[in-house]
Every structure is written in C-alpha cells, then in structure tokens.
C-alpha cells in the first residue's frame, strides 16, 4: 500500500506538470513547474519501486532526483510569483550549480562505499541535509512573495501554501530521521505490504500527501492563475470525508452483520463487494446532496452562484427574444450576490461590431458601448473557451495581442469573458463578469457551470436569429404580395392624372396654371418612382448571374458616373486590386447598387472632396474569404442616430429622397449571399462596403492554378 501511494503521487506530479506545460510551452513558469513535477515524479517512483523485492538499489535514484527538487522549486516560485520577464535570480542559478556538484558526489560515494549497507549511509544523510536546507530557500522565497503582495486574500492563500510546503519538508525530514535511528530491518521473507511498511519506517508517509497538495496548489495557480479558494477547498475536503465515512459505515455494518469473515473469507468478501456496489450505485444522487450541504456550510457564496446557474439553465430555453435573454441572464447573475458587475454584448451587423445590450453594475461608470470584432474576438474564434484577467495580465507583458485584449476587458469592467458561439463556430457575442473584491477569481467549477449556461444561451441565440431571418422572409413575401396590388391601385389613377395634366398643358391657360400643372406632373412622376422602388424592395426577385469581374463592375459604374458629370472640386480615386477572381454575379443589379452609392457620395460632398472606389480580399468573422468593393467619401458623414435607421424603408435625410435606395441595395447584396457594411465618422465622410462571398469552386480552381505553377 505504501509503495502504491508513492507511485500514485509520482504519476500525479508528472501528469499535472506536463499538462500545465502543454497548455503553453513558451511560458517560463510552466517550464520550471515541468522540471519540478518530473523531479518529484522520478524521486517518488524510484522510492516506490525500491520498496519492492530486489529493487533496493533504486533508492539512489530517489536520492539524486530528490536533491534537485529544491532548485526546481525555487525556480518555479520565482517564475510563478515573480515577474515573468525578469531574469532567473542569482539564488536559483547558484542552487542549481551547487546541486550539480553535491548530488552526483553523494550518489557516487554511496554506490562505491556503502552500496550494500543495511542502514542509511552517511552520503545519503549529507544529501538529505542538503536537500532540506536548500528547500528552506524556497520557503523563504514564498514568505517574501507573501510579504510583497498587497491583497489580503492572496496573503491568506500564500500563507496557506507556505504552511503546506513547510509541513511537507518537515515530515520528509522526520520520516528520514525515523529510518536512520531505527534498527536495521531484514525484509527477507516479508510480504510486499509488510515490506513496504517496514522500509517506510515508524512514521506514516504524510510527506507524500502534503507534497501532492503543494503541487496541486501550484498547478491551479498556473492553469487558473489563482490559488484555491479556502472555502472551496474545505467544501471539497468535507465532501470527500463525509462520502468516505458513509462508505466505511456501509462496509463496517456489512462485516459486523456477516460475522463469518474468518470462517468463510470468500463469502464475506463477496458480501462486502455487494454492499460497496450498492453504495456506489446510490452515490451519484447522494453526492449532489452532500456537495450542496457542504457548500452551504463552507462555501455559501459559491453555492448561491451554483443555484442561480441551475435556475438559469432551466429558464433559458423558454426565452424567445434577444432582449429577454439579456435581461434574464444579467438580472439573475447580478441578484446572486456573487457577480457585482456583468454586461452582455452581441454582434450588430449594421455596425459590423459588437454592441452593449445590457449591463448591471453598482458603479456610475458604464462599460464600453461598442467593441470591434478584431482583435478582441480573434482568440475566441480560434477556440479559446474564455478570457480571464489574471491570465491575460501575465501574458500581456510579453504578448501585444494579450495586452490589447486586457485593455478592452478593462474598458468593459470584466474579469471573465465567456463567448456565445454558434453551431458554425461564429462568435455571436459574449458575457462579461466581474468578481467580488474579496475574491481571487471564479473557480474552475464555477467557470464550468457558467460555460454550460453560456452554451445553452448560444443555442437559443442561434435559434432566435434563425427565427428572425425566417420572419423577415415571410414579412417580405407578404409585403411583396401587398405591393403588387397597391401598385395596380395607385398607378392606374396616376396615369389618369398625368394624362389629364398633359391634356390641360396644351390649352391656353394662364402662366400660374401652367406652373401648377408642372408641379402636378413632377409629383406624379416622383410618386410613380416611389411605387416602382417600393416594388423593387418588397417583391421577391431572382438574380440573373453570370461570370464577371468586380473590377470591371467598378470601372463600368465609374464610367457612367463620369459621363453624367463629376464636379470639378471632386477627385475620383481608383484602388482596384489585381489579384481578385472572376465570380458569378448579377451585373445589372450590382451596378444599380454601385451607382446608387456613387451618387450618394457625390451628394454628401457639396463642397468637394475625394471619392474613392476600392476592391480587395476580405475575411469575415467566420474566416470565409470575400471580395470587397468599397465606396468612400470625405463628405459630411452620418451621425450615430441616423446610422441605426439607414436601412429602414422610407427613412431619408435628403430632400426629395424616397428612403428606399439603401434598403434596396442591402437586399440585392444579401440576395448574393453577401454583406453590406457602413462605417462613418460625422464631418469626416462615410464608407460603404459590398462584400460578396468568394465561391468555393473558384477557390479550388485558384488552388489548382497555384499548385500547377
């Protein structure tokens, strides 16, 4: 049993250190922890094997690997609790140098002079004293980190970690002393279990358990960038203790009830096996009740958040509107008492950015209202499950993108950002949470529960968007049917009015009457234009696609614009990319869109300016390649209030405008499967972008051509 315990802790040390290193192989703290974990793993594995018959010489490997543990411990503490970009401390370098001299010397002397000695050899004693004294440097560095921090909670946790590390060192020393002063033991003829206990010595192996706790603390600090919350840890320990007590109680009652263990050992063992099996079968529902009770006792605030998230997971599927989902999540989380500040952002296609939909806070300062997709969502789109402030703060010192992400989290008052991701892997938005001042962050279990609620909300958001798209399609279909009848009812009377007005124009009427007839004809034509555009917007239409080039489309539209006349104080600039492919498009309808945008740009520059038409490759939020055609001007721009209404039918800021031009342009681009984006700064101009999806068959053809070349 003793050998098994050492071996299990060895496996645990190797697993935790390797797993932490694989998450980020370039971080020096994880490299140091990898060395520490494997030193402990080799030392404990060698000691475990040395307790078995015929493997006693492996104790020398335990001696050698154990001697390097203090040096790697000091390096790990320097990296974890010091500045990540600081050079390795002189103490760490000196300790490594001394260890390289002492460890081989002690091991070599032991093998040459005391290889067959039944008692602990003098070189082993010297190695043990050196290891203990060297480890005291690590304890001193932990105490310095405890004194340097200004956070009360972190002081308590570092003190707790220091206590465990000190206890592990002391118990290791006491166990070794017990082996030295004890009488020599001849393990020949002993069973494996008895042999392990005899060679372990008079004291139980408490040091190995304490070492495992220290390694787990350091692992949590590296992976979660937080030490375990004491309340959380006490709750876990209490749950394990109660569960173990119940299992022992069931097995003990079974042994007492059977009462024939010595007479019929196989029958008794089978009865205990059945009792344990029945206990484990009933343990799952029992465990949740035990965890709930222990959390209520030791971790009340954590349990409040768990209860809130359980309620949220039951209520989220009943939501049918984005606003309702926002209000539900923010109000529930804020009311839990565990989240003093929270906010929710969702993608707004009209702005091509993420906008703040709601927030809950006790502070007067509001979070950032609009966040651009790049660079904040880059990591989330690549699969990062969440952003945590401590994680980013550590990486920001050496990673510029992490520093930018951290700045945006600061502007949004966020300690933890959890993304909403669609079924296709597109980031729909995110939920920001700020933890309480007394806490050191959300625990791994809390983040897991939060992520479960977020994943459920992501499905609901995707369904809401699909439903809205279907609703819009039905609305336009109904509008198209109504528009056809409306056009018939309006155009016939208009034709009659226009014909009557033209007839009267031929009569000899006073000049004032002729002017009024001109007004009638002008308004009839304008109303007829509105009806025609309304029909174009409302009724379904089919695209007449053919293979064409977006640069040819831009050149043709500019030629038409110049033929109509461009003011002398307007400069036209063409920036057409030469590496764009030909692709299927409805040239007539896209020309209509482009000419409309060009005319709008000229009207926005009454005092002159620069009109720019540009084409290039663009990648959307899903990483899909698109061909972009942009029209930019340096005119009056569009204010924030009007930006939200640009694509609402009949909204216009121009005299004599119908308010249907941009909505029609948007419908044409969307019918091509593309995106229509607007960006503007008041008094500095506006930019309109048409983005058409890069056809996959064209992409494959381009790839073949590049391969052939």
By the 8 A CB rule, do 328 and 319 touch?
Answer: yes
Closest CA to 80 of 32, 39, 138: 32
Are 342 and 461 within one domain? yes
Closest CA to 677 of 646, 652, 701: 646
The predicted structure's pLDDT at residue 364: 66
Are 20 and 163 within one domain? yes
Of the three residues 223, 248, 273, the one that is the final residue of a domain is: 223
Are 432 and 461 within one domain? yes
**CA 235 to CA 303: how far, in whole Å?**
10
DSSP symbols for 83-97: -TTSPPPHHHHHHHH
> For the chain, what's the residue count?
709
Q: 62: left (phi > 0), else alpha (psi -120 to 50), else beta? A: alpha
Are 577 and 491 within one domain? no
Are 523 and 454 within one domain? no
**CA 702 to CA 583: how far, in whole Å?**
12
**Dihedral of CA 33/38/39/40: which sign?**
positive
Task: Say how many C-beta atoms besides its own lie within 10 A of residue 103's C-beta.
Answer: 20
**Dihedral of CA 562/679/591/655: which sign?**
negative
The predicted structure's pLDDT at residue 706: 44
By the 8 A CB rule, do 673 and 693 touch?
Answer: yes
By the 8 A CB rule, do 342 and 362 touch?
Answer: no
**CA 447 to CA 377: how far, in whole Å?**
19
Supply the CATH number for residue 704's domain: 3.30.565.10
**CA 329 to CA 358: how far, in whole Å?**
10
Q: What is the mean pLDDT of each run of 10 residues along the chain (709 residues)?
A: 78 91 84 92 86 75 88 88 66 88 87 68 85 90 82 70 89 83 64 62 80 85 62 68 74 62 60 74 75 71 81 88 90 86 86 86 79 84 84 76 88 91 85 74 79 91 78 66 68 78 78 81 76 67 84 89 86 88 87 89 88 88 81 87 75 71 84 86 87 67 46
Are 24 and 160 within one domain? yes
Structure tokens that stand for 34 in this block: 């990898």
For the chain, what is the domain count?
5
Task: Say how many C-beta atoms besides its own lie within 10 A of residue 674's C-beta.
Answer: 22
**Dihedral of CA 304/310/312/314: which sign?**
negative
By the 8 A CB rule, do 435 and 442 touch?
Answer: yes
Of the three residues 468, 495, 528, the one that is the final residue of a domain is: 468
DSSP H or E stretch at residue 628: strand 625-632
The SS3 call for residue 583 is strand
DSSP symbols for 672-686: TT-EEEEEEETTTEE
The predicted structure's pLDDT at residue 420: 93
The predicted structure's pLDDT at residue 435: 79
Which residue matches tokens 């983005």?
Answer: 691
Are 305 and 454 within one domain? yes
By the 8 A CB rule, do 272 and 255 touch?
Answer: yes
Beta bridge partners of 495: none
Which residue matches tokens 């192996």?
Answer: 205
Closest CA to 234 of 286, 294, 156, 284: 294
Q: 696: left (phi > 0), else alpha (psi -120 to 50), else beta? A: alpha
Domain that holds residue 97: 2-223
Residue 656's contacts (CB-CB under 8 Å, 6 or more residues apart) are 526
**Dihedral of CA 594/598/600/604: which sign?**
positive
Of the three residues 468, 497, 522, the one that is the final residue of a domain is: 468
CA angle 333-337-338, nearest 5°? 75
Are 463 and 331 within one domain? yes
Supply the CATH number for residue 507's domain: 1.10.287
Are 113 and 21 within one domain? yes
Considering the entire predicted model, what is its pTM?
Answer: 0.56
Are 284 and 323 within one domain? no
Are 148 and 170 within one domain? yes
* Residue 204 burial class via C-beta count within 10 angstroms: exposed 0-12, middle 13-18, buried 19 and up: middle
Sheet-wide strand order for 387-388: 370-372, 353-360, 341-348, 427-434, 416-421, 387-388
Strands 675-681, 427-434: pairing kind: unpaired
The predicted structure's pLDDT at residue 18: 92
By the 8 A CB rule, do 170 and 213 touch?
Answer: no
Structure tokens that stand for 449 in this block: 């529960």
Beta bridge partners of 629: 615, 690
**Is the omega angle on the peptide bond into residue 375 within 30 degrees of 0, that is, cis?**
yes
DSSP symbols for 592-619: HHHHHHHHHHHHH-TT-EEEEEEEEEEE
**CA 455 to CA 448: how far, in whole Å?**
10
The predicted structure's pLDDT at residue 622: 65
Supply the CATH number for residue 97's domain: 1.20.1070
Are 525 and 502 within one domain? yes
By the 8 A CB rule, do 357 and 326 touch?
Answer: yes
**CA 670 to CA 29: how far, in whole Å?**
50
**CA 69 to CA 58: how far, in whole Å?**
17
The predicted structure's pLDDT at residue 708: 45
Closest CA to 166 of 130, 140, 127, 198: 140
């Amino acid at each position: 049993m003793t050998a098994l315990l050492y071996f299990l802790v060895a496996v645990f040390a190797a697993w935790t250190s390797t797993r932490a290193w694989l998450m980020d192989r370039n971080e020096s703290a994880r490299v140091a922890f990898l060395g520490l974990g494997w030193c402990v793993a080799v030392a404990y594995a060698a000691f475990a094997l040395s307790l078995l018959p015929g493997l006693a010489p492996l104790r020398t490997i335990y001696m050698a690997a154990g001697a390097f543990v203090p040096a790697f411990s000091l390096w790990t503490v320097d990296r974890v609790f010091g500045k990540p970009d600081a050079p390795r401390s002189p103490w760490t370098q000196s300790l490594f140098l001394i260890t390289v001299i002492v460890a081989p010397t002690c091991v070599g002397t032991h093998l040459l002079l005391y290889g067959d000695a039944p008692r602990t050899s003098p070189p082993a004693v010297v190695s043990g004293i050196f290891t203990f004294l060297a480890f005291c440097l690590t304890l001193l560095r932990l105490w310095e980190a405890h004194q340097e921090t200004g956070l009360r909670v972190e002081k308590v946790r570092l003190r707790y970690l220091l206590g465990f590390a000190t206890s592990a060192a002391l118990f290791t020393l006491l166990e070794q002393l017990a082996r030295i002063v004890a009488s020599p033991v001849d393990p020949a003829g002993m069973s494996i279990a008895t042999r392990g206990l005899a060679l372990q010595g008079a004291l139980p192996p408490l040091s190995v358990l304490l070492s495992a706790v220290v390694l787990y603390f350091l692992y949590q600090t590296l992976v979660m960038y937080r030490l375990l919350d004491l309340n959380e840890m006490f709750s876990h320990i209490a749950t394990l203790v109660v569960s173990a007590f119940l299992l022992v109680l069931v097995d003990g009652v079974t042994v007492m009830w059977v009462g024939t263990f010595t007479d019929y050992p196989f029958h008794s063992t089978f009865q205990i096996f059945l009792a344990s099996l029945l206990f484990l079968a009933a343990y799952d529902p029992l465990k949740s009740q035990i965890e709930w009770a222990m959390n209520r006792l030791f971790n009340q605030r954590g349990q409040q958040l768990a209860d809130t998230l359980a309620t949220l997971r039951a209520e989220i599927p009943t939501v049918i509107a984005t606003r309702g989902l926002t209000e539900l999540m923010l109000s529930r989380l804020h009311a839990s008492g565990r989240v003093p500040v929270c906010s929710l952002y969702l993608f707004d296609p009209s702005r091509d950015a993420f906008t703040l939909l709601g927030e809950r806070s006790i502070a007067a300062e509001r979070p950032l209202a609009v966040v651009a997709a790049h660079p904040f969502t880059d990591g989330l789109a690549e699969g990062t499950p969440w952003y945590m402030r401590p994680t980013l703060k550590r990486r920001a010192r050496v990673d510029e993108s992490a520093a930018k992400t951290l700045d945006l989290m600061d502007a949004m008052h966020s300690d933890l950002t959890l993304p909403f991701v669609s079924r296709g892997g597109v980031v729909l938005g995110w939920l920001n949470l700020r933890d309480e001042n007394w806490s050191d962050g959300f625990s791994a279990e809390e983040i897991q529960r939060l992520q479960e609620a977020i994943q459920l909300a992501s499905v609901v958001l995707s369904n809401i968007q699909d439903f809205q798209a279907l609703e819009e399609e039905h609305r336009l279909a109904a509008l198209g049917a109504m528009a056809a009848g409306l056009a018939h009812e309006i155009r016939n009377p208009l034709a009659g009015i226009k014909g009557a007005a033209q007839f009267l124009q031929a009569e000899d009427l006073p000049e004032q009457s002729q002017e009024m007839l001109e007004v009638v004809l002008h308004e009839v034509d304008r109303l007829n234009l509105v009806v025609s555009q309304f029909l174009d917007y409302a009724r379904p239409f089919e695209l007449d696609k053919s293979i064409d080039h977006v640069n040819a489309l831009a050149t043709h539209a500019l030629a038409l614009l110049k033929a109509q006349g461009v003011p002398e104080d307007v400069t036209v600039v063409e920036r057409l990319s030469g590496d764009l492919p030909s692709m299927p498009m409805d040239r007539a309808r896209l020309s209509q869109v482009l000419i409309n945008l060009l005319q709008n740009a000229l009207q926005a520059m009454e005092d002159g300016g620069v009109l720019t038409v540009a084409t290039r490759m663009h990648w959307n939020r899903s990483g899909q390649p698109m061909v972009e055609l942009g029209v930019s001007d340096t005119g009056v721009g569009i204010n924030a209030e009007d930006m939200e209404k640009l694509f609402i039918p009949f909204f216009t800021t121009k005299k004599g405008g119908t308010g249907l031009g941009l909505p029609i342009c948007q419908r044409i681009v969307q019918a091509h499967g593309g995106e229509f984006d607007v960006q503007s700064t008041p008094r500095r101009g506006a930019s309109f972008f048409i983005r058409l999806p890069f056809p996959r068959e064209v992409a494959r053809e381009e790839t073949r051509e590049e391969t052939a070349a």
